[in-house]
A and B are shown apart, each in its own frame.
Chain A
């Protein structure tokens, strides 16, 4: 089993703290942020290379979840995003999917369900990444004329 690397983004500090503890206990490497901007900053730093999945709260002051999603996908297309919402509406779900969210979970969610989604998303991200690396290697090989 892979060990996914996760960034948890939510404006509820206490929620993030406890979730992080629980994920760590399950062998997940976790970073945390309390706003969209903070999440982007983390990813822009060293976080991007090791983050597989972002767990992103939809409703946050300042930059909200959908805006943050768009920004993440723009800067880091391979990173998968699982949206967390307190109030799932069809409109916001569709909007999120349009912007490339991997899945949509409603608060409060069961940690096992979240872990499942997390692992699937991480697998998808890593496969995606591997394909791209492979394609890139093929391309380099072709150029070399091997």
Chain B
């Protein structure tokens, strides 16, 4: 019959404040971070789609504006070419009038106006430059302009040396073909495209299919880099609106949007840093992080406060418990001494009574008729000897008591258990004599020493031996004290052949104030003090009992452990035989 629950009692390690805080933080923060991350990820996807569709709409509108601008200018020139007889078109004054009208109408989009004959000679010109009679026969646009009903050139420097582009249309008069040509102000056109701006980093520009800038990009752009290079070499197609990811010249992730202009001969390009385009996401992330930080800080603060409080309370309880344990041990020791003293006072009265009787007897003899008779003198001498003998007996008893009471040193040192057993059995010898109990010892001769407080070990032994003697309710019982080395443990066993402990009480016997003795005869502290002392010494105490058969207490101490609070060797959990 064993009592495992009383044997496995030990102090649970106190959780440290930091562990508790980290644990709480993880519990609180982990779901927050995970859901936050998932939400942000989804938000990012949704927002990216939204940004792309906005970009698509924007570039569609802008390309429409640019295309319409070009188409409108072309139709302006065509109307001029068709509506007026060639004679008037050849008149520079008339051309000047028309030009002025158009400049008023279109806020200076047109720079100049001219008519070129089949030989490439500008036969009429109105505009700021002196280009009348200019020869365009070798200009790159001349052939194209003559081969098409109408034509829009790329931006070029031309004869005047400044960037511009021209729109031309044909006018046939009989066999002769003339070209009416208008120059579009580059600045005007450039402003049209440069005005397309979104966010801090978005900008637009136009390139031709052969990789020439048709407008000035606001920021530097390299057409040799992805995705421009791929678009220009045809690896990527931009026949319709096209969005690509890439990096800008500063290696920042950017979104590139393309739309074809002029039936695909030009490309309207729009470039913006991804972070800027997804600024809303960034704001959202920032907000989420701030919210997370606020919640986390709150959680940590609460966690720290709560656990700190908890830990300090636990520490307080530990401290109180330590003080309490110390006091209980001391109280128990005093109680043991008190019990012992009562027993010993009783015991000391026997020799004292003899001494008093002997003294009285001497007194009787001295009052005899013949006090100095030889017979009387022999008797007096015997009596005096007896008084001396009994005095020695008293001395021995008080010496035992004092040696027990004087030992108050709780400091840990090497203790020879066998010597302790001998001492304690000496102290209880009177008790065993009157209780008709035989004490048997089976002490292992080469028992290793244990590390413990000698007074405390003495108390454990005294308690166990006293309990064992008390447990014997019939004359002729035996208390057996055994010591032996067992693996890494030193085992003490106190066995009695007494009444045994009912199973119902077995689990409670180490509880403080649990006693089955009549009121006033037991503090109920003995075994709980033993438990505390043994545990403090890093050992275990277990009990086995069978009603009417007896009880065995098995105490296992770690042998020569450097510290009292060393982990308990599992082999020491072994119960007695």
The answer, among B346, B357, B358, B475, for a CB contact under 8 Å with A87, is: B346
CB distance from A26 to the nearest CB of B (A): 8
Residues on B with C-beta less than 8 A from A61 are: 433-434, 436
Complex Cα distance, B355 from A19, in Å, reads: 11
**Most interface-central of A18, A19, A21 (chain B CB within 10 A):** A18
A77 at interface, CB cutoff 8 A: no
CB distance from A98 to the nearest CB of B (A): 16
**Most interface-central of B357, B358, B436 (chain A CB within 10 A):** B357
Residues on B with C-beta less than 8 A from A21 are: 361
Evaluate contact between B360 and A86: CB separation under 8 angstroms.
Answer: no
Evaluate contact between A59 and B346: CB separation under 8 angstroms.
Answer: yes
Q: Contacts A59-B434, A108-B356 given: A15-B361 contact, CB under 8 Å?
A: no
**Most interface-central of A61, A64, A85 (chain B CB within 10 A):** A61
B386 at interface, CB cutoff 8 A: yes
Chain A 74-113 near chain B by CB (<8 Å), digits 1 or 0: 0000000000011100000000000000000011110100
Residues on B with C-beta less than 8 A from A64 are: 434
B80 at interface, CB cutoff 8 A: no
Q: Contacts A14-B386, A14-B390, A60-B434 given: A107-B349 contact, CB under 8 Å?
A: yes
Evaluate contact between B361 and A22: CB separation under 8 angstroms.
Answer: yes
Residues on B with C-beta less than 8 A from A145 are: none
Q: Contacts A59-B434, A60-B434, A61-B433 given: A18-B346 contact, CB under 8 Å?
A: no
Closest residue to B435 on the A side, CB-wise? A61
Chain A 11-25 near chain B by CB (<8 Å), digits 1 or 0: 010110011011001
Complex Cα distance, B349 from A87, in Å, reads: 8
The answer, among B364, B386, B390, B433, for a CB contact under 8 Å with A22, is: B364
Evaluate contact between A108 and B433: CB separation under 8 angstroms.
Answer: no
Evaluate contact between B475 and A86: CB separation under 8 angstroms.
Answer: no
Closest residue to B352 on the A side, CB-wise? A108
A45 at interface, CB cutoff 8 A: no
Residues on A with C-beta less than 8 A from B390 are: 14
The answer, among B355, B386, B436, for a CB contact under 8 Å with A108, is: B355
CB distance from B404 to the nearest CB of A (A): 18
Evaluate contact between A19 and B357: CB separation under 8 angstroms.
Answer: yes
Closest residue to A86 on the B side, CB-wise? B349
Closest residue to B348 on the A side, CB-wise? A86
**Most interface-central of B353, B356, B360 (chain A CB within 10 A):** B353
CB distance from B431 to the nearest CB of A (A): 10
Evaluate contact between B357 and A22: CB separation under 8 angstroms.
Answer: yes
Complex Cα distance, B394 from A86, in Å, reads: 14
Closest residue to B437 on the A side, CB-wise? A61
**Most interface-central of A22, A62, A107 (chain B CB within 10 A):** A107
CB distance from A82 to the nearest CB of B (A): 14
Residues on B with C-beta less than 8 A from A25 are: 364
Residues on B with C-beta less than 8 A from A85 are: 346
B347 at interface, CB cutoff 8 A: yes
Closest residue to A111 on the B side, CB-wise? B360
CB distance from B358 to the nearest CB of A (A): 6
Closest residue to B432 on the A side, CB-wise? A61
CB distance from B356 to the nearest CB of A (A): 4
CB distance from B14 to the nearest CB of A (A): 46
Residues on B with C-beta less than 8 A from A87 are: 342, 345-346, 349
Q: Contacts A22-B357, A111-B360 given: A15-B434 contact, CB under 8 Å?
A: no
The answer, among B346, B356, B364, B383, for a CB contact under 8 Å with A86, is: B346
Residues on A with C-beta less than 8 A from B386 are: 14, 18
**Most interface-central of B345, B348, B352, B360 (chain A CB within 10 A):** B360
Evaluate contact between B349 and A15: CB separation under 8 angstroms.
Answer: no
The answer, among A15, A60, A106, A109, for a CB contact under 8 Å with B354, is: A15
Chain B 332-349 near chain A by CB (<8 Å), digits 1 or 0: 000000000010011111
CB distance from B185 to the nearest CB of A (A): 128
Residues on A with C-beta less than 8 A from B354 are: 12, 14-15, 18
The answer, among A22, A60, A62, A86, for a CB contact under 8 Å with B353, is: A86
Complex Cα distance, B345 from A87, in Å, reads: 7
B373 at interface, CB cutoff 8 A: no
Chain B 417-451 near chain A by CB (<8 Å), digits 1 or 0: 00000000000000001101000000000000000
CB distance from B174 to the nearest CB of A (A): 156
Interface residues of A in 22-68 (CB under 8 A from B): 22, 25, 59-62, 64
CB distance from B346 to the nearest CB of A (A): 4
B42 at interface, CB cutoff 8 A: no
CB distance from A36 to the nearest CB of B (A): 12
Evaluate contact between B475 and A15: CB separation under 8 angstroms.
Answer: no
Complex Cα distance, B360 from A75, in Å, reads: 34
CB distance from A63 to the nearest CB of B (A): 9
Residues on A with C-beta less than 8 A from B372 are: none
What 20 additional pairs, Cβ within 8 angstroms, besides A12-B353, A86-B349?
A14-B354, A14-B386, A18-B354, A19-B357, A22-B360, A22-B361, A59-B434, A60-B434, A61-B434, A62-B436, A62-B475, A85-B346, A86-B345, A87-B342, A87-B345, A87-B346, A108-B356, A108-B357, A109-B353, A111-B357
10 A-B contact pairs sorted by A residue (CB < 8 Å)? A12-B350, A12-B353, A15-B354, A15-B357, A22-B357, A61-B434, A87-B342, A87-B346, A87-B349, A111-B360
The 10 lowest CB-CB distance pairs between A and B, nearest first, are: A86-B349, A87-B346, A108-B353, A108-B356, A107-B353, A18-B357, A86-B346, A107-B349, A15-B354, A108-B352
CB within 8 Å of A: which residues of B? 342, 345-350, 352-358, 360-361, 364, 383, 386, 390, 433-434, 436, 475
CB within 8 Å of B: which residues of A? 12, 14-15, 18-19, 21-22, 25, 59-62, 64, 85-87, 106-109, 111
